[in-house]
Amino acid sequence: MNFQQLRIIREAVRCNFNLTEVGNALFTSQSGVSKHIKDLEDELGVELFVRRGRRLLDLTEPGRELLQIVERILLDANNIKNLVEQYSRRDEGQLTVVATHTQARYSLPKVITEFKKAFPKVHLKLHQASPNEIVAMLLNGEADIGVATEALTDVTRLDSFPYYTWHHSVIVPAGHPLEQESPLTLQAIARYPIVTYHEGLTGRTKIDKSFSDAGLTPDIVMSALDADVIKTYVELDMGIGIIASMAFNPVKDTDLRQLTCEHLFGANTTYIALRRGHYLRSFAYRFIELCSPRLDEATIRAGSSMVHSD
């Protein structure tokens, strides 16, 4: 048994049992992948895969149980590597952060600027992804830190920590009748076509729930991934917009007006998430602390330990 065989087990599942893709992911041939699988099954004395002819379809029951052990072994192997680098190259290495567009665009730029000043030799990779994609990247070991409002707290293999709280705002073209509504109501908003976020992004669930609880069906004529697109179509008079408050810039968005609606849609909390058991370098903890000073290394470690003991 060797690490390459264990990696093949994991990659087979990730690649939906396509051995050509497994080979490409691990920089080897399909025949090499097949041989490793056969050698491992011969050594263990059990079949790990359900087959139809030469095709792999799924894991057998022993294969599923083995996969859980493989995930732990490969995670610990990576942790050993990170541990050694922590002491041999303390302020060098790579940090991968994955965040939704809203967080990457509006909450992280200042953090990243400060981080790069403090750790100029650390290569920071910033990915933008949906909440579900962020979860997958964390669980697959493709990212060290995830930042999003949705999905992160629902996964038991992740440790999530509150980052900050924010609200939505309604945006309208200058001179729009809603500017005269005080206080702003859901009934007044629902009289107009609405442009807002896709389902499952940037607090959209809170928006939908508020209208539903009020017995209203809003006319959402368009949805988008990010606030910049929403603002563009509000400027084109496609409808009024509902966006995250921090996405509005009065200096740049001069043709639009921001209407406060904290009382209508409630608060949203953005979280920072880590894969449970994943060893983080000291500079990763520093990145989190720059996001929120109360989330220092001791607090993160203590919070993770509490989750583990539940």
Asked whether residue 182 falls in the same domain as residue 255, the answer is: yes
Q: Which domain holds residue 122?
A: 92-163+269-309
Asked whether residue 21 falls in the same domain as residue 66, the answer is: yes
Asked whether residue 249 falls in the same domain as residue 203, the answer is: yes
Helix residue ranges, H only, 155-226: 186-189, 204-213
The 10s digit of each residue's pLDDT in 73-119 is 887 777 777 776 666 566 788 999 999 999 999 999 999 999 999 99
Q: Cβ-count burial of 44 within 10 angstroms (0-12 exposed, 13-18 middle, 19+ buried)? A: middle
Asked whether residue 139 falls in the same domain as residue 157, the answer is: yes
Query: Is 59 in a helix, a strand, or coil?
Result: strand
Portion of the chain with pLDDT greater than 70, in percent:
95
The residues pairing with 37 across neighbouring beta strands, listed in sequence order, are none
Please tell me the total count of domains within the chain. 3
pTM exceeding 0.85: no
Asked whether residue 222 falls in the same domain as residue 279, the answer is: no
Asked whether residue 191 falls in the same domain as residue 257, the answer is: yes
**How much is the pLDDT for 75?**
78
Last residue of a domain, one of 236, 251, 266: 266
**Neighbour tally for 170: CB within 10 Å:** 27
Last residue of a domain, one of 58, 83, 108: 83
Q: Are 276 and 264 in contact (CB under 8 A)?
A: no
Q: Are 68 and 31 in contact (CB under 8 A)?
A: no
**How much is the pLDDT for 68?**
87
What is the CATH classification number for the domain harbouring 284?
3.40.190.10
Last residue of a domain, one of 231, 248, 266: 266
Asked whether residue 25 falls in the same domain as residue 59, the answer is: yes
Asked whether residue 248 falls in the same domain as residue 283, the answer is: no
What is the CATH classification number for the domain harbouring 51?
1.10.10.10
Asked whether residue 224 falls in the same domain as residue 274, the answer is: no
- The pLDDT of residue 308 is above 60: no
Asked whether residue 54 falls in the same domain as residue 43, the answer is: yes
Asked whether residue 177 falls in the same domain as residue 60, the answer is: no
- The pLDDT of residue 174 is above 90: yes
Q: Give me the mean pLDDT over the 293-310 stretch.
A: 73
Asked whether residue 205 falls in the same domain as residue 252, the answer is: yes
Q: Give me the mean pLDDT over the 38-46 stretch.
A: 85
Q: Give me the mean pLDDT over the 24-38 stretch.
A: 88
